[in-house]
Amino acid sequence: MNNRKVIITCAVTGAIHTPSMSPHLPVTAEEIAEAAIGAAEAGAAIVHLHARNPADGLPDQSPAAFEPFLKVIRQRSDCVVNITTGGSATMTLEERLWPVSVFKPEVASLNMGSMNFGLYPMLTRYTEFRHDWERNYLAGSRDRIFKNTFADIEHILTTCAENGTRFEVECYDIGHLYTLAHFADRGVIKPPFFVQSVFGILGGIGNHPEDLAHMKRTADRLFGDQYSWSVLGAGANQTRIAAQAAAMGGNVRVGLEDSLWIAPGQLARTNAEQVSKVRGIIEALGLSIATPAEARETLQLKGGDRVAF
């Protein structure tokens, strides 16, 4: 009997999808809190969080936007809270880092390289938008670089060094693994590493099964037993990629930040619905899901009693 525990991360809401694309995307602090708690109850050990302006759905990295839902989640759930430092490609580095530096979470996301982050093909699938900024945000990605230089990455790592925050290291391509190895060799980031491989974003690695295999082979060679591997698939390929990753020995990330869908042509109504679906796949493979306590042990996290919210 395989007793390996699979860590499920749920990305509750984010900057990729705009509010017009689904009426089910959490936007207000109350909606984000309820969505995160529901995902945790469905089996997510970790919830990955962005914040939004409730008036227009714009990504918002101010601590004032995060604090209301962070406190509710902490009071009602033992899940591991992971706060983004990605924010949005249109934000400054200091804006992106602001909530993590204030709230000192157990985990924060960290993008491992600058890249073309192409969202503009969505304009061929969506024609009506509730807010003026949405169309321009998507169209602007044709000529926008998501900036994550070596200096940016080092600044985030060193700023958080005394907080005990570990990182969900987001790798959108093979070169990002080598960037992680560079900072590891210098001792700027310490193992165990939590590598989140991202598949299917235009500008990053694709979503072919060979892409997953190549990413894992490379990470195994670079980091050996010093890392935990997790995988997210963008858009309609979320479930297929999660299933392949679980079968290959990895952990999985789902959620409305990464995909709005639960089945072909069918919008997911909640994050919990996606978590439940991938949990069923994991358990059908003869595996079991990790509890928050087990995720904390595997990733060597500081504990939920040492955060600042």
Which CATH number does the domain housing residue 224 bear? Answer: 3.20.20.70
C-alpha to C-alpha distance for 60 and 184, rounded to whole angstroms? 31
Q: How many domains does the chain have?
A: 1
C-alpha to C-alpha distance for 68 and 70, rounded to whole angstroms? 6
Q: Model confidence over 50-77: pLDDT tens digits?
A: 999 999 999 999 999 999 999 999 999 9
Q: Model confidence over 201-228: pLDDT tens digits?
A: 999 999 999 999 999 999 999 999 999 9
How many residues make up the chain in this entry?
A: 309
Residue 9 near residue 168 (C-beta atoms within 8 A): yes
* pLDDT above 70 coverage of the chain, percent: 99
Beta strands (DSSP E) in 147-226 are: 166-171, 193-199
Residue 292 near residue 45 (C-beta atoms within 8 A): yes
C-alpha to C-alpha distance for 106 and 31, rounded to whole angstroms? 22
Closest CA to 109 of 258, 268, 267: 258
257 — phi, psi (to 5°)?
-65, -35
Q: Model confidence over 111-143: pLDDT tens digits?
A: 999 999 999 999 999 989 999 999 999 999 999
Region at 258 (left for phi over 0; alpha for psi -120 to 50; beta for the rest):
alpha
Residue 166 near residue 106 (C-beta atoms within 8 A): yes
Burial of 102 (0-12, 13-18, 19+ CB in 10 A): middle
**What domain range includes position 124?**
5-306
Residue with tokens 């919830």, as numbered in its chain:
47
**Tens of pLDDT along the chain (309 residues)?**
467 899 999 999 998 889 999 999 999 999 999 999 999 999 999 999 999 999 999 999 999 999 999 999 999 999 999 999 999 999 999 999 999 999 999 999 999 999 999 999 999 999 899 999 999 999 999 999 999 999 999 999 999 999 999 999 999 999 999 999 999 999 999 999 999 999 999 999 999 999 999 999 999 999 999 999 999 999 999 999 999 999 999 999 999 999 999 999 999 999 999 999 999 999 999 999 999 999 999 999 999 999 999
Going by the DSSP 8-state scheme, the letter that residue 213 receives in this structure is H
Token pair of 269, please?
A: 């109504």
Global pTM exceeds 0.95:
yes
Residue with tokens 């904390």, as numbered in its chain:
296
Region at 230 (left for phi over 0; alpha for psi -120 to 50; beta for the rest):
beta
